[in-house]
Amino acid sequence: MKSRRQGFVVLGLVGGVVAGFLTRPSVPMVGQLPFGVVITRGAGLKGFDQILVGAAQDSFNHLMLITILGVALGFAMPKVIGLVKGEMAAKGETD
């Protein structure tokens, strides 16, 4: 059961990272910032590009929020699946 839960958590982590990266906010006239800029929160931006630091920080925060939600969902899934299977067994339904 423990390895199953770990598998769901890893799946939630990967899914959360992918979903967070794909749905990160866009900057007007620039679009979505590159992954390297987002993951460093814009620390490497120089000169005129420094106006994008706030957007990079917002994108990073968005990425982390969706990732944490994905991990939480992955952590809860085995319990939900167990409840559904338990209800099906109580009703006499089988796979």
Question: How many residues does this entry show for the chain?
Answer: 95
3-class secondary structure for the chain? CHHHHHHHHHHHHHHHHHHHHHCCCCECCCECCCHHHHHCCCCCCCHHHHHHHHHHHHHHHHHHHHHHHHHHHHHHHHHHHHHHHHHHHHHCCCC
| pLDDT, tens digit, 9 for 90 and up, residues 8-60 | 899 999 999 999 989 988 888 889 999 999 999 999 999 999 999 999 999 99
Residue 95: pLDDT band (50, 70, 90) is low
**Residues 89, 76: Cα–Cα separation, whole Å:** 20
Residue 2: pLDDT band (50, 70, 90) is confident
- How much is the pTM? 0.78
- Above 80 in pLDDT, residue 91? no
